[in-house]
Amino acid sequence: MTNSDPSTDNLDSGKPKSALSSVVNFMLAVVRLFARWLGGNRLPKSSPIVPPQSVAGTALMAVIAIMSFLACLTLAAVTMVFEQAQLWESDVSSELTVQIRPSEGVDMELEIERAIRITEQSPGVGRAEAITEDQSAELLEPWLGAGLDLSELPVPRLLVVEIDNPVVLDIAKLRKSLIEAVAGVSVDDHGIWINQLKRIANVTIATGIGIFLLVLAATCLSVIFATRGAMAGNQVVISVLHFVGALNRYIAREFQGRFLLIGLQGGLVGCFAATVFFVVGGMLLGFLEGPSGGSPFQALFGGFALTPLVFAGFVFVLILVSALTAMTTRMTVERYLATVQ
Amino acid sequence: MIRFENVGLRYGMGPEVLRDISFQIAPRSFQFLTGPSGAGKTSLLRLLFLSMRPSRGLISIFDKDAAKVSNDELPEIRRRIGIVFQDFRLLDHMTTYENVALPLRVQGMDEARYRSDVVELLDWVGLGERMHVLPPVLSGGEKQRAAIARALISRPDILLADEPTGNVDPPLARRLLRLFIELNKLGTTVVIATHDLNLIDQFDTRRFVLKDGRLQIYD
């Protein structure tokens, strides 16, 4: 009778092996043969110098993702305010108002005609139009009530002047010409409003940039702590690399590569979350506004939309966060290695 | 090749562990460094490997004053020295093949250039069948041979081995020593630190004996 029991074979060979180990060895041999067939007898891809599990990768990636998300939101808010401030400024500075106060013995209609003529002759002015008495009454109706006869009251008349080219228009010269020719005239170029808007917008933008920089600084600090942790956890690896003759910049590059990958992954997650936030937020706001539109948010910030400029900002954040992560790691590692022999 | 003159070493404010050590190591020479445990063998090897600076005295390695070697110059010198540590110091996340190839990899060499050399060396030290195995799976003797192979792969001018036979049985210890002697015949300077006098007695060669921090040389 032929004995095919592996355990008996093992006894025969004088080396006690269990049946289980024989089966495992056989399976390993099959796997090895299969791997060799698949890989064409090539050696497997080299392991990374810095073991991935020795770096607190998941935690750091989560921190970088959150920081990238906040950086994206801040940058988007700054971009929106900047764009809207430009829009406000161009809207307001595309018009100016000429006011003519009634004076005794002065024919208002003649003064208005003269003011229109002088204004329209000025370079840069597109059109000047007087607001009629009816239109003035309509504007004042909320305060003075309906059925008002303005001819009995000393209500000033207004001219709305549309500016074609604000660069060419010399407002000071126009103001001087009007004051010399028209009685009781004054020119309002909305300069006070423009300056206030500019100031508010600049403060908002500066605050946003400050927050953006703080977020980046917090990201760098997190990376420094994580790198120090990784260095402490890889002291054996570093000492081995040193005694096989690795240059400090080689070791720094290995750590930098590992952290760059983490930074890229975290940055991608954060920027993707910000993109989703903007798309979903824009849809929700559109839904809440209803068909009439015109929410206060839209009036202030011009809508909650993922514009190309905002999206470009997200890409910028991704590149910046990844580059900062890699650079911070390299500097931290090089500083550490400079103290080690 | 290596010259020590009145070298002393102390750790912090403690007593001197090495005192007035003076010797020369010639190219292609073979020597044992011996002495009881705690005599300072490992400290002396660390000085030879420039991983420590002496408290006093002069160390000259490859005609360079060790005190004047900057951190930037250290890797170049270390690439000319192969070292085998008592605790092997193999990287557990890398295979035997990758551990042995590490000195060439850190020099930026392309794997295609060194692959056959590494495989050949692994076969020579009897680890050809274990090249894709991670160190935790290797036996003590296999780890020892992998560490020796790693020290030799970049063909160093000098090989320093700290208790290379400390974790292996006597027959394997003799095999390893024969391996070192073969290497020496091929031109590598060899310094072996061991406290196994029985093993040393089997070979008639130069001995450095450390006792109470002082060195005696028996040619």
| Alpha carbon of B54: minimum distance to chain A alpha carbons (Å) | 13
Give the list of residues 6+ apart from residue A226 with CB closer than 8 angstroms, or none.
A55, A56, A59, A60, A259
Give the list of residues 6+ apart from residue A299 with CB closer than 8 angstroms, or none.
none
User: Nearest chain B Cα to A244, which residue?
Assistant: B103
Question: Which pLDDT score, from 0 to 100, does residue A94 have?
Answer: 80
What gap in Å lies between CA B108 and CA A72, rounded to an integer? 39
| B89 contacts A43? CB cut-off 8 A | no
Question: Which pLDDT score, from 0 to 100, does residue A18 have?
Answer: 55
| B106 contacts A245? CB cut-off 8 A | yes
Question: Which pLDDT score, from 0 to 100, does residue A341 have?
Answer: 59
Least confident range from A188-202, A215-229, B108-122, B153-167: namely A188-202
More confidently predicted of A5 and B62: B62
What gap in Å lies between CA A64 and CA A269, rounded to an integer? 9
Which of B59, B94, B118 has the most A C-beta neighbours within 10 Å, making it the best mutation to test the interface with A? B94
Query: Where do the structural domains in chain B lie, given as residue ranges?
Result: 90-155
Beta carbons of A124 and A174 less than 8 angstroms apart: no
* Chain A residues touching B76 at Cβ < 8 A: 245
What gap in Å lies between CA A202 and CA A190, rounded to an integer? 18
Please count the CA atoms within 13 angstroms of the CA of B141 that sit on its side-chain side.
Answer: 13
* Chain A residues touching B52 at Cβ < 8 A: 341
In which region does residue A294 sit, left (phi positive, over 0), alpha (psi from -120 to 50) or beta (all else)? Answer: left
| A242 contacts B78? CB cut-off 8 A | yes
Provide the 10 A C-beta neighbour count for residue A167: 6
* Closest C-alpha among A335, A274, A281, A340 to residue A310: A274
Question: Which pLDDT score, from 0 to 100, does residue A1 have?
Answer: 35
Chain centroid, CA B109 distance in Å: 23
Provide the 10 A C-beta neighbour count for residue B162: 22
Mean pLDDT by 10 residues, chain A (341 residues): 36 44 53 47 67 79 93 90 79 81 82 89 86 80 74 81 84 88 84 81 91 94 90 89 90 89 92 91 73 57 75 92 92 86 59
Question: Which pLDDT score, from 0 to 100, does residue A3 have?
Answer: 38
- The tokens 């001995």 sit on which residue? B207
Buried residues in A52-68 as b, exposed as e (16+ CB within 10 A):
eebbbbeebbebbbbbb
Instruction: Fill in the amino acid letter for A50.
Output: V
Instruction: Over range B30-57, report the average pLDDT.
Output: 88
Chain A, chain B: beta-carbon pairs less than 8 Å apart: 66
Chain centroid, CA A104 distance in Å: 59
Handedness of CA B131, B134, B137, B142 (dihedral sign): positive
Instruction: Give me the residue from B75, B98, B103 closest to A247, CB to CB.
Output: B75
Q: Does residue B190 surpass a pLDDT of 80?
A: yes
Instruction: Give me the residue from B89, B115, B154 closest to A43, CB to CB.
Output: B115
Q: What is the ipTM of this complex?
A: 0.86
| A243 contacts B78? CB cut-off 8 A | yes
Beta carbons of B95 and B53 less than 8 angstroms apart: no
Question: Which pLDDT score, from 0 to 100, does residue A298 have?
Answer: 63
Beta carbons of B211 and B39 less than 8 angstroms apart: yes
DSSP bridge partners of B81: B158
Question: Which pLDDT score, from 0 to 100, does residue B199 have?
Answer: 79
Q: Does residue B201 surpass a pLDDT of 50?
A: yes
Secondary structure, 3-state, A124-136: CEEEEEECCHHHH
What gap in Å lies between CA A100 and CA A104, rounded to an integer? 13
Question: Which pLDDT score, from 0 to 100, does residue A101 have?
Answer: 87
| B78 contacts A236? CB cut-off 8 A | no
Instruction: Give me the residue from A43, A240, A250 closest to B91, CB to CB.
Output: A240
Q: Does residue B179 surpass a pLDDT of 90?
A: no
DSSP bridge partners of B4: B23, B59
| A240 contacts B52? CB cut-off 8 A | no
CA distances from A301 to A52, A74, A201, A298 (A): 44, 14, 11, 5
CA distances from A232 to A207, B36, B148 (A): 37, 33, 27
Question: Which pLDDT score, from 0 to 100, does residue A42 have?
Answer: 46
Instruction: Give me the residue from A51, A237, A245 closest to B75, CB to CB.
Output: A245
